Amino acid sequence: MRPLSAACWDVAMERVTDSLPARIFLLACNPDKERRAWGDTLGYAVRAAVLVELAERGCLSDADGKARPVGDRRTGDPVLDAVLRGLAEHGRPRRWRTLVARARRQTLQSLEEQLVTAGEIRVERRALRRDRVVLREPGLPGRLRAEALETLESSTPVEQVPRAEAALAAMAALGKLAPELNWQVRHRNRKRIKELTKRGGPAVTGLKKALDSRNAAAASSASSSAS
């Protein structure tokens, strides 16, 4: 078995819910209704969170606006390493927004399975109805949403906000993943969201671009259908 670098091994030993992808997934869960955010947006956000996590662990770097794997590093986290292998197999750097959109459903499913295996969630598949998602810690989504909201509305200079916290708040706002981050909150903090998006790194900027592109395509399709 390939040994992990010391830095990667320390992170790999943390609880699965400490990772940014898991945190954004859990933030998007509704423990009262026992379900998670509906639609494809969560897949984009989870995929972006994976890229942020890989960059923070030193496994990805930014090369002229494109993501490039660093050496042959691995993290020990199966979800992160699956994305790393996909990047390595492609063979050349790709734009961050392209990677945010690529294989997002597969990455989301892999993360969900990881959380199930770790005992953090239980998922019940239901025909013709949304899946039932039960959390081991029902209070966790509320704490994560409160953290994101505090980051959005804080007077702390953005450059002093830890990158992972900036990324969590920005992705939650960009993806509209929590009712606490409603239109009024997002509008009031629109400048701060832009700053946090930049602070979160190129993967978070890539998330915004990917969502903007998706929304523009959907609007164009709707306009064509109506005409």
DSSP 176-193: T--TTS-HHHHHHTHHHH
Q: What is the pLDDT of residues 170-218, one digit of tens each?
A: 999 999 999 999 999 999 999 999 999 999 999 999 999 999 999 998 8
Using the predicted structure, report yes or no on whether residue 5 has a pLDDT greater than 80.
Answer: no
pTM for this one? 0.90
Task: Please report how the helices 20-27 and 140-153 are oriented relative to each other, as an axis angle in degrees rounded to 10.
Answer: 100
CA dist 208 to 45, 108, 133, 192, Å? 9, 18, 27, 14
- Report the distance separating Cα 120 and Cα 22, nearest Å: 10
Distances in Å between the Cα of 80 and the Cα atoms of 48, 65, 177, 210, 213 are 11, 21, 22, 20, 25
CB of 53 closer than 8 Å to CB of 11 = no
What pLDDT does 227 receive? 61
**What local confidence, expressed as pLDDT, does residue 226 receive?**
66
CATH class of 7-216: mainly alpha
Among 190, 187, 193, residue whose Cα is nearest residue 171: 193
Q: In this predicted model, what pLDDT tens digit does every residue of 57-83 receive, in sequence order?
A: 999 999 999 999 998 888 999 999 999
